[in-house]
Structure 1
C-alpha cells in the first residue's frame, strides 16, 4: 500500500470520526420546550394540572428534555412572554384557552417553532405550526353534575365559573343538565366571578348558593377556588374538584372530575419527542380514556359507580348530547 493511499485512508478515518461526533452531538441535544402557565402552578386546578404534566414529561424524558416555564402572566404581557419562549424553544405550550389569541398571533412570527394550546377551541383557523387540544370540559361537567346530584343531601347544587366565556358557560350549562338527569327537581345555582383567580368573589358566590340550600359545589376556577373552599369549610358543605384525582387528601372534596390538562401537556411533548407532532384541532375528552377525562367519586356506592359509567358511555356514543367546549 502506497504512502498516498495510507494518507487518504487516514483522512477518511478522521472525517468519519468527526462526522460521527457531530451526529452524536446533535443526537445529544435535548428537546427544548417552553410552557406558559398564565396562573399559579399551585392553584389546585387547571394550572397545577398543567404543571404536573410538565413535571411528568421531564421525569419520563430526563436529560432528553430541557424546559422553560413562565407563570402568573396577565393578558397584557402574554404576547411578550410567548415571544420569549418561542425565541428559545422548539415547542411552546400555552396552558389555557386564554392563551389562544396570543399564541395564534405569535406563531405566525415563528414559523419554525411548534405551538400547542391546551384548551384550544374548535372553529378558529390555526397556522400550520399550531395544535389546539380541546379538553371537552362540557362533557365531564355533565357527568360531574350527575355525580353532584347523587351526592347532595339537600337536593341543591351549585357551579361557579371564572370568566363568562363560551367554554366556561357551556360547562356550567351541562353541569346543570347532568344534575337534572338524576333529579329533575334539583335546585341548581350557577354564577360567574369574571375572574378565575378572585378568591373573595368565588367565596361570595358559593355562600350565596349555600344560603339557598346548595351543599355540593363544582367549579372552573384557578386561585379563586380558595374562596369556594373557605365558604364550603365554614358552612360544612362539599366540593367536587377538577382536573386531578386527589381523593383522600382533603375531606372537603367528595369527588373529582378529570380533565387531563397535564395529560395534554405531556402528550404534546411526547409527540414532539417522537417526531409525530401534528398541527390542527384535536378533541380529547372521554374518548381519549381516563387519563384525558373521567369522573372519580371518592366513596361511591356500587350503584353510583355503575350509573356514572353508563352516563360516560352514553356521552361517548352520542346518546347524550352535550355542548362544545
Structure 2
C-alpha cells in the first residue's frame, strides 16, 4: 500500500503536529489484495518512507523516483507499505524526514537536495536505514545511510554529444536549477560532450536558482534560442514546463532527462536515462533481500541501461554507433568526466 501525503510548506509543521494529513491510499495489486489487511500482515510488511521534495508529476527527477517506488509496490504487493511525502521546501525537510523515520524501516530521499537533512536526521535514528537517490561522494555518511550517485555529469556528456549531432543550428543550451556542484558539473559536461562532437558548436549554459521556477526556466531558454540554440537539455523539476513553453514557441527541441519516453511528445528528440526510479526501487529490493548496505555507491553507465543510458528517438545508424563509442570510452577512462 502506498500512503501519499501532500503537504504545503507553510502548514507542514502544524499538520505534522496534529497529524491531520491528506492521505491517498492506492492499491498496489488488485482491489481484493488491497482490502485483505490484518494486524499480522501489517506487522510483517516492510515499511518504507519516501521524501519527494518536488512534484511526483514533474516529468523529471521526482516523477522518475515516484515511478520507482510504485514499481517496487507492484513487485512486493502487500509485503510493502510505503509512505510518501511530496512538495516539501528546504526549511521543512528535517521535520518531514523525522516524521518518516518514526514510522518506517527505510527512508529514501529523492534528490541530492535532501542529503544535508538526511545526514542530520539519520544520526537521531540509528536503527532506521536511509538512502539518498542522488547522493554525492565526499561527505562522511553515518553507518545507517547509503548514497546512490546517479552520475549525472557522466550521462550529461553523452547527452551533449547527442545534442550536437541533432542540432541543425550548431547551437545548444542547458538550463539547471540550483547552482550546486552536481548540477554545475552536469552542465559543464553537457558542453564538453557537445564540443567533443563539434568543436565549433555554440553552447549556452544558465541556472535559475530553483528547480521549480517556470518563469525563470522559460526566460533562460528563450535567451538561448535568441542566440541560435535549437536543442535544449536540463536538470529541472517543474521548471521544465517553462523550458517546454519557450521551445514550443520557437519550434526548437528538448532532450529530456531521467526516463525514456520517446514517442510520447514530438517536442522531445532524445532522453538521457539516469535511473532515479531504478535506484529508489533498488534500495527497497535490497531491504527486502536483507542485503542493504550503507555508504556511497556509484551507478551510472557501469550499472547498465536501467541505471544510465542515452535514448535518441530517431537515430541514424552512425549516431547510434557514435553514442555507443562515447559511452565505452567513458567507461574505459579514455574520456574523463567530472564527478556528480
Same fold, TM exceeding 0.5? yes
Unaligned runs of 5+ in 2: 1-38
Asked if 1:131 corresponds to 2:131, the answer is no
The residue aligned with 2:293 is: 278
RMSD of the TM alignment (CA)?
A: 1.1
Report the equivalent of 1:17. Answer: none
Does the aligned pair in 2 maintain the 1:41–1:71 contact within 8 Å? yes
2-structure distance, mates of 1:28, 1:323: 45
Partner of 1:253: 268
CA positional deviation for 1:26: 7.9
1:1-325 equivalence runs, <5 A: 25=40, 29-325=44-340
Any idea what SS the aligned residue of 1:93 has?
Answer: strand
Question: Offset of 1:319 from its aligned partner?
Answer: 0.6
Distance in 2 between residues matched to 1:33 and 1:178, nearest whole Å: 38
4+ residue segments displaced more than 3 Å? 24-28
| Conservation of the 8 A alpha-carbon contact between 1:133 and 1:284 | yes
Q: Answer whether contact 1:142 1:179 (CA < 8 A) is retained.
A: yes
1:223-271 deviation line (CA, Å, top 9, x unaligned): 0000000000000000000000000000000000000000000000000
Residues matched between the structures, number: 302
> 1:163 is paired with a residue of what secondary structure?
coil
Query: 1:194: how far off?
Result: 0.3
Larger mean CA deviation between 285-294 and 24-33 belongs to: 24-33
SS of alignment partner, residue 103 of structure 1: helix
What SS does the aligned partner of 2:311 have? strand
The C-alpha deviation readout for 1:15-43, integer Å capped at 9, x for no partner, is xxxxxxxxx94896100000000000000
Matches of 1:233 and 1:123 in 2, distance apart?
Answer: 40
Residue 98 of structure 1, CA deviation: 0.5
Deviation at 1:121, TM superposition (A): 0.7
Q: Secondary structure at the match of 2:219?
A: helix
Question: 5+ residue gaps in structure 1?
Answer: 1-23
Question: CA separation in 2, counterparts of 1:304 and 1:142?
Answer: 15
Distance in 2 separating the partners of 1:207 and 1:82: 37
Deviations 1:113-137 (A, max 9, x none): 0000000010101110000000000
Give the distance between the partners of 1:287 and 1:53, measured in 2 at CA: 19
For the residue of structure 2 that corresponds to 1:32, the secondary structure is strand
Question: Normalization by structure 1: what TM-score?
Answer: 0.92
Match of 1:3 in 2: none
TM-score for the superposition, normalised by structure 2? 0.88
Q: Aligned with 1:36: secondary structure?
A: strand
Structure 1 residue 82 displacement after superposition: 0.2
